[in-house]
Structures are given as C-alpha cells and as structure tokens.
Structure 1
C-alpha cells in the first residue's frame, strides 16, 4: 500500500520462557520509513513523543494539585480520592491492551486515538457540576495509560539498541517534567478561575499534541498475525482489573467483607485467573502472561507494584501537606499556586534522574538503577517523615523523593524491554504499567482513607487531615522504599542479552 510500512514476522522463542507469535530482532541502526535516519531525526522523534506523553502527565499532576480545592468544595475528603482512583483504574485496564493493539495495528495510530479520547474526557470533567461527573470524565482520561508504553515501543522500533535505555529514561524524565509543569499551571489556573480550568487546559493540549504526532512521528509498523486477534483476552482483562481494583480499593472505607467489596474482589480475581488461563493457552495471546515467567521481569514488576503502593503517592501527600493550614500542627499553609511553584525543583530533579537512570541501566543494567533509586527514596521519604517543619526542608526531601521515583520509573521498563521481543515491547511495558496502576490505585485509596479517617475540624466545619494521619502515610511509604531496595538486590546483575528473534521484513512501497 503506498506510503505505508508493513511488518511481517515469524514465530520466535523469547528468552523469557514463553513462545511469542511473532518476533523481531533488536536493530543496530535506525530505520525510519525504511531508511537509516540521522541523529537529528531521532531527536525530532523523541521530542514529539515527549509532547504526546505529557497528556497523561498533565492529566494526573494537575488534578492532584486541584484535589484539596475540589475536596473543600464538595466537603468529601474520602470520596474525592476517586478522582485519582477512577483515572488509575482505567489506566490499569488500558495500558497493556492499548499497548498491544498498538503493536498490532500501529503505535502512532493508537496514540492519535487515545489523544482524542483524552480531550473528550477533559471536556466531560470541565462541564461537570457534581463530583460524580468529574469522576466520569477522569475515567475517560484514564485511557492515557497506554501512551507511555506505546512511546516506549516506538523508541525501541526506531532507536539503535545501545541507545534505547537512555532514550527510555528521557521519556520517563519528560513525564516527570510534565508533572512539575502541571503542578505550577494547575495552581495558577485553580486560583485564577477554579478547578474547571485545569480540564479545559488538558482538553486543548490533547488536541494540540496531535500536530507533532502527525508531522514528526513516522508511520509505525503493523504485524501480520498468523491467526485471529485475541479480542477475548482484552475483553476479559479490562473488567478483571477494574473489579479487582474497585474491590481492594474500597476495603479501607467499607465494612470488612461487605457484599459489594467482597463480591467485586472475588469476581475480579476470578476473571484474572480465567484471563491468565485463556492467555496462556492461546496461540497468539493479546497479552502474553508467559513473559512473567522470566525471573527478572517478575521481580521488576514486583518493584513496580511496591512503587505504586507507596512512593508514587508522593504528589497526593506532598500537595496536601503544603496546603494544609498551619494551625493543624503539620501543614505549611500555602496556596495552590505557591504549592505548585515550590514543587518546581522536583521536576528538575526528575529531569536529571530519569536520563541518569537510563544511562546507568544501559551501562550497568537495570538492577543498579533500581538499587540507586530505592536508596534515594529511603533518604527522601525518611527525611520528609522526620523533618517537614519548613518549606525549604519539605521541598528538599520532596525533590530527592521524586528523583527516586523517576529513576525507578525508568529502570523497570528498561529491564522489561531487555527481555522481550520487539513485537511485544508496548504490550510488555504496558503490562508493567497495569501492575503499577493497580497498586497505585489501592495506594491512593489507602492514603485518602487514612487521611480522611484521622481528621480534625476547622472553625467553619471543614475537615482537615490530622498530624497522625500524615505521619502514618509518610512512615508506611518509607517502608515500601525499603522493600523495593531489598527486591532490587535480588534481580540479576549486569545487562541481559536481548531476546532472540527472527528477522524483520519491512515492505516499503515506492
């Protein structure tokens, strides 16, 4: 077909222990539209991908910044957490499925579809007049969970093998920088025009991101599958993840083993078991669960689970801590705008830490990045737990803590990419995002439940989290950083050999 690249692949055996329906070799050169591309083209490509992936970053960070304002307006600290959990729930359900569909039908095409859906979700939230309406819009925005895995897949497809780890780190760093910019922008917009304005901004940005996607990202490859696409695997996976996350996410705020909570949890776990059984037997699974048979991939995903459960909750805890009234005994009493501004150094820390993590992974292996990142996390979270009485101290510990998160966010995908076929790059990293997303949703519910159940009332009747609630959250999160360090030490040393794959045949029409 004129102007379109096609990819035909044969069956190959991946080192992760499973049989992939198709595979491709790790390339030593850059192939953009069938030709070798100069470094300048790689730079343009990565910049465009950074701009696209910031859609998800803005959606997440800007809402977190506005969370205290929305909670005060609706006077519901506990349930406002669903603005995060609903978003994360859909992210978890779509990251791997969207990534795999991009592997099959073209990653650039999937990026465009997701950007349009994100714009629609932002509009729904912006026009909402109830908390439930905002949550619905946030759930639609959650399809952005597939953006980063798709970007990882495009980088691996077009960037030389020896440079992949570094550029993956840069993509992760851009996500963190976007979060920092989102905090500042959201604080300004919330103080200027209310929380509605942040959703108007993300709607407009999602549409504008289509321009660099269309003009700077080349047409990506599509797979020629030997059998039918495993749509059943995708249909089972999304509700399985959603029900499991909903059930476990509500245990903290519902009576133990209530019918709703227990039912959702059991049905979700049952669907996950059925989905895993189906995928393990399918000749061309939509999501190949056999990838997790590789020990290092499994341990890397465990690190992601612990990261989501604890350290990733830094934005929620830190933004609420900064804006908490001083009279409560723990808050620093700044406005949303000031909170966003004082957190700006954390974005710069992430911008340095993510490429550094990529460099370390490329030079010494992902294990070294995980150990380094988790050690920084212990220092940052431990310091914030013990010393948080001034803005300067709080920002210093937050910067270290966010840098640690950035290193870990870049390290895990690099470990996964080093062990899987090119043809399953977005799927495999998307599956890791699912793991992190599920536990991040549970962590968000746990944090908001702890802060909501340990509260004090202001003179106007507004509820604020107590010192006890903040200290419990900070202490538990420091503990997860310790667990990540211990897990990281068990991952194999050095750089793994890329998965063995058959040759890629690219047909480019004249």
Structure 2
C-alpha cells in the first residue's frame, strides 16, 4: 500500500462533441441498463418450468442481479475516478452484453444465474454517466443533463415492463436476452464513437481489501433483506446474515478510515450534505419501489375479487409506462427548480408529490385510469427527487471523487428498493383473502403498502430538511477542490 496521497491526474483531451449528443447517448445507456430490473418479471412465474428447477432456486435469477449491482456500483465508481469513467462505463456495458448472451444461451439454472450476475455488474453505468457529464458539460447544461441521467433509472424500469411482456407473450423467452444484448451493443458503439473520456482522474491504487470487505458486508445485508421472507425473519440464517453484515461493515469502516487511498472516502460521505442526501435516498428508493410492487398486482388480480381489475401483464406494463415518460419530461423542470431555489428544495417538493400520489392511490383503486393517473403523479415526484440528488452530491465532493460519490448514492437508493420489496412481501403475505381456494393479498394489504410508501416519501421530505442550504445546483461547487484541500485543474480538451 502506498503512503503517498492520491493525486488527481489528467487524461487526454477528447475531440469536441456536441453536448446534446453526449447527454442523449449517456441517457440511452442508462435506460438500457435499467431495463435489466424488469427484464425477467414477465417470465418469473414460468422460470421453474423453463429451467427445470424449484421456484426457490429460480428466484436467484432476480436476487443475483440485485446483489451483483450492489457490489459493482461503488467499485466501478471508484475505478472510474482512478482509471477513467468512460473506460469503466464501457467495461460495464461489456458485462451487460456478455451477461445477456449467457442468459440467452441458457437452458438451465446455473448459466441463467451467471448471466444475471453479469448483467447486474453493469449497474454502475448511471452514476458513471453523471460523473462524465460533470467533467464534460458546461455548467449551464449540467443540471438538466444529470437530472435526465438520474431519471433514466426509473424510465428504463417503467418502459421495460411492457416491452418485456410484449416480447414474452409473442416470442421465445430467450429473445428477451438477445434483445438486451443488441441494445447493449448499440449503447457500447455509441459511447465509443460519441462520448469523450473524462478529463479528471485521481490515480492511486485500488483498495482491494476494502472492495472485498464492502462486497461481503453488502451481500450479507441484502441477502438477508431479500430472502428473509422465505427463510423466516427470525431464522438462524437470516439473523446470522444480519449480524455478519453489521460486523463486516464495521470492520470495513475501520479499514477505510485507516488507509490512505480508501475505496470509499468515509470522511467525505460524513459531510452533512452527502450524509443526509444519502439517507433521504434510501427513503426515496423505498417510496419509488412500493408503487412498482402494488400497482401491477392489483391490475392483474381477478376482477371477481372485487378489487382486482383482471388485466394482463402487458396491459399492466402499459399502465406503468407513462410514469417513465413523465420522469423524463420532469427532468428539465427539476433542473430549473434546482437552479432557482436549490436542489434541496427540489428534493423536498418531489418527496411531497410522491406522498400525494400514494394518498391519491389509496382513494382511487377502482378503474384502470386511476392507476395511470397515480403512476404519473408518483413518476413526476420521482423525477424531481432523482434529478436533485446528483446535484446535491456533486455540490459537496471534489470532481476527483464524483463517480465514487454518485455510485454510493445510487447504492443507497438500491438498499431502499430492496427494503421496500421485503417489507411489502411480509405485509402482503400476512394480510390475505381467500379466493378460489387460494390466498391472495387483500385490498387492505395493498393499501397498507401504499400508506407505508407514502410515509417513506414523507420521511424523505423530513430528512431532506436537514440538508444544508445550497445556493447553486450546477455541481461545480467543489470542482476545483481536491482531497485535502489541494487544487485540481482538469485538463483542457
């Protein structure tokens, strides 16, 4: 381990590229990666038959992607700061392509899970894209561009469900993964030809021990959250994993504070603006995912239950799709509010909109258009919140730490969504009604999850109130401040 402090180094300049083109390519890449969240949803009930494996094992096709993404996001962010953000973005896209091809060729469980792990390793594309924007875009374009890039996570998830359902209904299930592979190739070619390499790097050595420790801690934590409902929340396995996560992450934190070039600069993340934003991100991630868990289920419940609407998976996806478009349309509005009033205000407004959407959904659950309306309202709120968080993070860290800091923020949102899935699963499993001899989640159970989602949004509002007031939202506040107060001047392209 080197005792010398990591010094930012300059990368070679890139030919001038139109700002709008860079933004479009990076946003497209983010949407392609976000599609992986909903890619397998239409075929999850069929996976035991398709892969000739028990349902408890085929669930790993979803869980493995979650775990891989959680580990990969902060690691690729740090590597991007060290060796080049565009380079690591291309590595991530390559993982997506290889994983998609592996899953497309699979006929059994193990290659499918391997393919889904590789797809999960691509999760760092969105925070890397935001970091490239900070390095390459003029300040006046940065706010709207990063808002759009951050919203691409929700856009991809919303648009992916109807697209995946359409493919699954009309073609062999392998076509799902061949399609994602083709989209990955297109994204990779566009990045290679149109996106310049970031001009700011930290150099230094990669913290391998920190990477392994963080991976072990996150896997234990997220495995316990995602599988605790199946194993039992008081089972030895679940409690053991939670305990191991606490111990491993505490030791990891001690190590990160001890070494000169940590994987995650915990002193930077302890800054009030970064810390509070990350805490709010957990609540926002929870609030966003609660909608995705409830609305499709109600839409597909048999109408004879009295509260289900008897829609197909494709119809349910089409109901959710407008929310993705609303998120995209909200990005420039979010940026304008952040520019005028600061990203803290934008985050608080978005949280209130999300809470209002959940309150509306508790009252309106009888018609398909009710859910279109509600998903659009919540989508608008998510667009505001997701658009504000990169500005808050970039306004509190030096340019040389942008990718790592944004990646950690993305991870916090993922922890929120994982927790939402676990909480909703417990509630819907306990609050049931019998229909046709089968226990189904009751309407009160769905309303309870919606109420908790709204409560999470209100919690995000309350937490955001403690973020220090910021006067600008262009992400350049600390762009010239390096680690230890050293000045960092990016090279001129």
- Give the TM-score, by structure 1 length: 0.86
Give SS of 2:491's match: strand
User: Bigger shift: 372-381 or 229-238?
Assistant: 229-238
Say whether 1:503 aligns with 2:484: no
In the alignment, the residues of structure 2 paired with residue 281 and residue 332 of structure 1 have an alpha-carbon distance, to the nearest angstrom, of 57
Conserved? CA contact 1:59–1:141, under 8 Å:
yes
Q: How does 1:456-475 map to 2 (within 5 A)?
A: 459=436, 464-475=440-451
1:62 corresponds, among 35, 39, 46, to 39
Determine whether 1:480 maps to 2:480.
Answer: no
Q: What are the equivalent positions in structure 2 for 1:303-342 lying under 5 Å apart?
A: 303-342=280-319
Paired residues for 1:286-305 under 5 Å: 286-305=263-282
Alignment check: 8 A CA contact 1:81 1:448 kept: no
Counterpart in the other structure of 2:149:
171
2:354 equivalent in structure 1: 377
Q: CA deviation at 1:458?
A: 5.6
- Pair 1:324–1:189, CA change in 2 (3 A): same
Residue deviations 1:350-369 (CA, integer Å, cap 9, x gap): 11222222222233211111
Q: Output aligned runs, 1:29-48, within 5 Å.
A: 33=13, 37=16, 41-48=18-25
Aligned to 1:14: none
Quote the residue 1:113 is aligned against.
91
- How many residues of Structure 1 are paired with residues of Structure 2 in the alignment? 480
Task: Tell me, yes or no, if the aligned pair for 2:285 and 2:417 is still in contact at 8 Å.
Answer: yes
Find the partner of 2:366 among 379, 383, 389: 389
Q: More displaced, 414-423 or 397-406?
A: 397-406
Distance 2:47 2:424 in 1: 17
Question: 2:80 aligned to 73, 92, 102, which one?
Answer: 102
Q: Give the structure-2-normalised TM-score.
A: 0.88
Contact 2:200–2:491 (Cα < 8 Å) also in 1 = no
Partner SS for 2:198: coil
Structure 1 unaligned blocks of 5 or more: 1-10, 12-19, 26-30
CA RMSD of the aligned region, Å?
Answer: 2.9
Instruction: Identify which of structures 1 and 2 has the higher relative contact order when contacts are C-alpha pairs closer than 8 Å and 6+ apart.
Output: 1
Between the aligned partners of 1:174 and 1:133, the Cα distance in structure 2 is 28
2:256 to 271, 279, 282: 279
| 1:470 shift after superposition | 1.6
- After superposing the two structures, state which structure 1 stretch, 489-498 or 142-151, moved more: 489-498
Match of 1:266 in 2: 243
Contact in 2 for aligned 1:191/1:336 (Cα 8 Å):
no
In terms of mean alpha carbon deviation, does 130-139 or 425-434 score higher? 130-139
State the distance in 2 between where 1:121 and 1:453 align. Answer: 36
